[in-house]
Amino acid sequence: MATRTDAPTRREQILKEAARLFAERGFHGVGVDEIGAAVGISGPGLYRHFAGKDAMLAELLVGISGRLLTGGKRRVAESDGGDPGALLDSLIEGHIDFALDDRPLITLHDRELDRLRDSDRKLVRQLQRQYVELWVTAVREAYPGLPEQPARAAVHAVFGLLNSTPHLGRPGALPGREATAGLLHRMARGAFEAA
């Protein structure tokens, strides 16, 4: 994903802390006062930024699905039909960045997706399907002759592997970001090669 050098907005700070708290204690285990305290404003002050907790959850889950898709499309465009293996490596790297840097959002998605309104949940699924299709196309170009169904199954398996990062222990317990990213990358490539 693109790196930002400017400071996060108040809205971004709220979303980051909401994601962390929701992932730690569950959506219903966190009140607006706690989220506000985590960013240094009153709970009611959050309502200047969001209609409520449901709106925060929707923005978090729809937002990350949209960011992954946008980042994937950008990587495809930057490859400009070049080396298919390099494109696949780039997609893997982008997803690893998400998996290591946004671990609370993975937990949140796993636990709380069903709490979204139907329209928001459908939008998340639609964005995710488009993201999967980018990957399936990239995998089939990197591994010519691989049929669509095994490619699709491998993509979902790799997502399961990469999205397992919340279960790896606390960030300090990992062997270091670079080493963990390298391990995940090798394992993802190995899964595609085995398909």
Residue 12's domain is classified under what CATH number? 1.10.10.60
Number of domains forming the structure of the chain:
2
Burial (Cβ within 10 Å: 0-12, 13-18, ≥19) of residue 174: middle
> Domain for residue 38, yes or no?
yes
Joined tokens for residue 57: 């959850």
Kindly state whether residues 34 and 110 are assigned to the same domain: no
pLDDT for 195? 86
| Reported pTM | 0.89
> Domain for residue 3, yes or no?
no
pLDDT in tens, 131-186: 999 999 999 999 999 999 999 999 999 999 999 998 887 656 667 889 999 999 99
Three-class SS of residue 116?
Answer: coil
Kindly state whether residues 88 and 144 are assigned to the same domain: yes
Three-class SS of residue 82?
Answer: coil
Contact between 191 and 157 under an 8 Å Cβ cutoff? The reply is yes
Kindly state whether residues 35 and 94 are assigned to the same domain: no
Low-confidence ranges of the chain (pLDDT < 70): 1-5, 170-174
Amino acid at 3: T
